[in-house]
Amino acid sequence: MSNLAESVRAARRAQGTTLRALAAEIGVSPATMSGIENGKVAITPARLAELAQALDTSPDALRSPAPPPPAQPPPDWRSFGPLEIDAVLAAAVRLVVRQGYAATTMREIAQEAGLSVAGLYHHYPRKHDLLAAAMELTMKELHERVGAARQEGETPAERFALMVEALALFHVHRPDLAFIGASEMRSFEEPEATQIREQRNDLQHRIDTEALAAIDDGTFAAAEPLPALRAISTMCTSLPQWFRPDGSLTPDEIAREFARLALAMLGDTRAR
């Protein structure tokens, strides 16, 4: 991917604009906009000027973006505060969890958010934009938390266990976002559907990599690890369907127990 393509994507995300909304703003298809951001479609000077205007910046700023901020320490992946999202997206998430994406209308979302329908369309031109925004938020937080958990481990087995713990914690503390991610993949349109699948596959690959490394170094003894790895992920993603905060186990306890189960499923030789 070119630096210019990366700059366009970063500017869009900083502005809080969806890929589909930016595509509509400059008069191209979402697939073309995705190609622009992935460096597969050339950005002509005229197209760059259109993008700059739509993103409220200048062509020069997109060509030479400001340097990234200093690296921040990894987030505390075990700590979960209130979800900081705008009122419209929060309203959409509540309704989709309650009655499903297909049954939820833009009018209902506007009423839930205390806006007029016209006011809602100003923020999100299409209902699908809300679904895409919810999933983008989900995948961003998941990757950050699982990545931070991985950094704490010194061996592949330790990293694997911590990543499973982080995955479980997210699905306990963010049940609405997790539920939408598990139940509404069929509702996504392109190019967002492909982007989400790639992000999910990347996350699974990162977890698989640590497990396979632990097999290579003799810590795990599973002869067929892939079925167990898929079962572990499914075990975590099912948490929003049954976990209750007033149950017998706290979120931290259930996450640690899931990590223990994951180690056992892969034949952790240290437990012998």
Whether residue 70 lies inside any domain: the answer is no
**For residues 42-61, average pLDDT:** 89
Helices 45-54, 3-15: axis angle to 10 degrees equals 20
pLDDT tens readout for residues 109-118: 999 999 999 9
Q: Which of 58, 75, 101 is the last residue of a domain?
A: 58
- pTM of the entire predicted model: 0.75
Check residue 184 and give its pLDDT: 93
Peptide bond into 227 cis (omega under 30): no
pLDDT tens readout for residues 139-157: 999 999 999 999 999 999 9
Count Cβ atoms within 10 A of the Cβ of residue 271 and give its class: 0-12 exposed, 13-18 middle, 19 or more buried. Answer: exposed
% of the chain surpassing 70 pLDDT: 95
Contact 22, 55 (CB under 8 A): yes
Are residues 133 and 95 located together in one domain of the fold? Answer: no
% of the chain surpassing 90 pLDDT: 65
**Structural domain that includes position 46:** 3-58
> Can you tell me whether residue 119 is helix, strand or coil?
helix
Check residue 74 and give its pLDDT: 58
**For residues 128-134, average pLDDT:** 93
Whole-number average pLDDT of the chain: 90
Total domains in the fold of the chain = 3
Residue 72, pLDDT > 60, answer no
Whether residue 140 lies inside any domain: the answer is yes
Distance CA 181, CA 66 (A): 33
Whether residue 77 lies inside any domain: the answer is no
- Residues for the chain: how many in total? 272
Distance CA 99, CA 94 (A): 9
Are residues 217 and 266 located together in one domain of the fold? Answer: yes
**For residues 50-61, average pLDDT:** 89
Distance CA 264, CA 244 (A): 25
Are residues 208 and 162 located together in one domain of the fold? Answer: yes
DSSP sequence for 185-253: GGGPPTTHHHHHHHHHHHHHHHHHHHHHHHHHTTSB--SSHHHHHHHHHHHHHTHHHH--TTSSS-HHH
Whether residue 155 lies inside any domain: the answer is yes
pLDDT tens readout for residues 183-196: 999 999 888 899 89
Residue 66, pLDDT > 70, answer no
